[in-house]
Chains A and B, each alone.
Chain A
Amino acid sequence: MFLSNIWKRALHYKQTPKSYPKINVKDVVLDKPRVGFRKEREPLISQSVTDTLFPNTEIKKRYIEAGKPVPIKYRSNSDAIARRNYEKYQEEVMTGQPHFRVGENKIYFPSGRICLLRPNAKHTPYQAKFLVPKSMNKMDLRDYLWNVYGLRALNVTVQLLHGRFQRDAFAYARYRLPQYKKMTVDMAEPFIWPEVSPELVEQAENDYRNEVKVIELKNGRGSDLLKPIEGFDGMYASPELPDAFVSRKWRKQGETDVQKHTAQVEEKTEKDLVGKFLGL
């Protein structure tokens, strides 16, 4: 038997069905299920505590009761620290103190631009978005809002936008525009932007349209410069008077002729005046 096995292994011809392994068809399972074949485990003890804010002590207790080693995660006294911090935070909020360590670097004339932006669809009324200088960090904004407006920033998130690509007519390749940094702040109380009056919007749109018209005409080429400038209620519109045809050569000559003529007439009137005065 042993030898025959070895021989089989050494032989390099195709196996015949006679020597195939003997398996019952009923035992073969085609397309084994991918889910549900794993061993079902008991839920962790740590998962059983759900209804407290500081669950560490409770979890620790339950592990000890069950006679199991307490996981390292739950051995520390982080619960006590968290509780202490939370109490401190509540107290600070109640007394109107800052809920964070206020920065000590005094800046008297901040030059950075900080703009409150209109919210996007994803923002709640409890969030405010600011456009901030790129050098600013979360703590800076939190300090700024606290010191200038007394606004408590409960959470700050940063969005650093990518520099958009710009193509210039005179540059060989595209280049990047500056990056913008925005920060979203969570607030204790809601704030909703006031509606912009429709008249103001209308006015702005009208101004924009007018300016576009003027710019288009100013940038016009060739005969487009003859176009009357519309927009701004006809502020720049000059009347279009009918021209007679006078060739360029004759314009030049005719102008000098007329100038000579007017000079002669003036000279003559002056001479007459002088003659009259002298009694000639």
Chain B
Amino acid sequence: MNRLTSLLIRPSGLARGLAIRPAPFTVISSNIHTSSPRQNGNVFGELTKKESEPVPVEEDVVQETEVTPKNDTTLQEYHMKEALERQYKIDKYVTPLKKALFDANVAENGFFKNNQIVEHNGSKYKLLLTEEEIDILEPSVYLKSFRIKSSMKKATQVNRFVRGYNVKTAINQLHFNPKKMSTELEKLLKKGLQQSRELGLDEDTMYIQSLWVGSDGEWVKRPDIKGRGRCGIIEHPYVHLRAILRSNQTKLRKEWEAAQKKLQAKPRMFLNNDPLNFKVRPYYKW
């Protein structure tokens, strides 16, 4: 406020000291205009006057470590809590006993054998699981791609190519495939390898159990102007990829189940074992 009032007052001290003497009319000298008393070497005077140099602050007294998002533990804990809530984990959907029995079975056999007796905490259990329960309990990596500008048809061609492949083989094949969707899928599978490593699974034996494409929604549409007053719709499709990777455990289990099925199958009869459907006579009828 004080500064402002000092500006607003019409100063006349400098003007008083000067004798008012009109310059010759033919010459317009530039110093005629420089009579502003509040110039201070600058048009805006005190407003833009340089302040005195700041006093150097003693840095030894206060030592503050800079907080960044990377080393902010509270923030990282918060993010981890959120991520854990979002994560699909087996413990959230299966009771602990079932999980323990499944693990004991796997530890004993190397993979899950259904309808077997396992010992747990001194007591014996016979664990019979449905196909869906086994699917949940066996280790898996569920992969989701981001939004991809492509169509289901284009994606399916690539998906069929690598479905059921070992992940590393699939990546190898896709790397040398010139299709756009191959690149996208390769990126996704590489993320899958990384995640299976995090889960402590053997990345060399991981395979693509299922792989599918879905519409990602909100397709952009625009008119396709045609002749004769007609028009169609041009759609710009967007898709996403989803994949489930499974470990060697699943492969071994399936092989074992197939072998069991084969063992239990009845021997194949090439002829009907029924009684003959006509009268058998000891002579020719013709």
Contacts and interface: CB of A to CB of B under 8 A. Distances in A.
B20 A94 contact: yes
Interface in A93-110: 93-97
B84 A243 contact: no
B148 to A, nearest CB: 8
A123 to B, nearest CB: 14
Nearest to A251: B93
Contacts of B12: 95-96
A93 B88 contact: no
A92 to B, nearest CB: 9
Interface string B213-237: 0001110000000000000000000
Interface string B1-35: 00000011011101100101011011010001111
Given A245-B88, A254-B94, A254-B136, A226 B23 contact: no
B36 A188 contact: yes
Nearest to B133: A250
A187 B195 CA distance: 68
Contacts of A243: 87-89, 141-142, 144
Interface string A216-245: 000011111011000011110111111111
A180 interface: no
A95 B94 CA distance: 93
Interface string A242-276: 11111100110111011001000000000000000
A234 B244 contact: no
A191 interface: yes
B196 A188 contact: no
B8 A147 contact: yes
B255 interface: no
A54 B25 contact: yes
B10 A239 contact: no
Interface string B176-194: 0000000000000000000
Contacts of B38: 150
Given A221-B216, A221-B217, A258 B22 contact: no
Contacts, number: 166
A240 B144 CA distance: 11
A245 B140 contact: yes
Contacts of A240: 83
Contact of B35 (A94, A148, A232): A94
Interface residues of B, number: 67
B80 interface: yes
A223 B216 contact: yes
A148 B6 CA distance: 11
Interface string B138-175: 01111011110000000000000000000000000000
B25 A238 contact: no
Nearest to B218: A221
Contacts of A223: 144-147, 216, 240
A237 B75 CA distance: 10
B45 to A, nearest CB: 7
Contacts of B36: 96, 150, 152, 188-189
A246 B33 contact: no
Contacts of B95: 257-258, 261
B26 A234 contact: no
Given A221-B147, A223-B147, A258-B95, A244 B142 contact: yes
Contacts of A95: 12, 15, 20, 35
Contacts of A234: 69-70
Nearest to B214: A223
29 contacts: A52-B26, A90-B22, A96-B14, A149-B47, A151-B44, A152-B36, A154-B33, A188-B43, A189-B42, A221-B216, A222-B147, A222-B238, A226-B146, A232-B69, A234-B69, A239-B79, A241-B86, A241-B198, A242-B196, A243-B89, A243-B144, A244-B88, A244-B140, A245-B135, A245-B136, A246-B93, A246-B136, A250-B132, A255-B92
User: What are the 9 tightest A-B residue pairs by CB atom distance, in nearest-first order?
Assistant: A254-B93, A188-B33, A242-B195, A222-B216, A245-B142, A223-B240, A243-B88, A224-B147, A243-B142
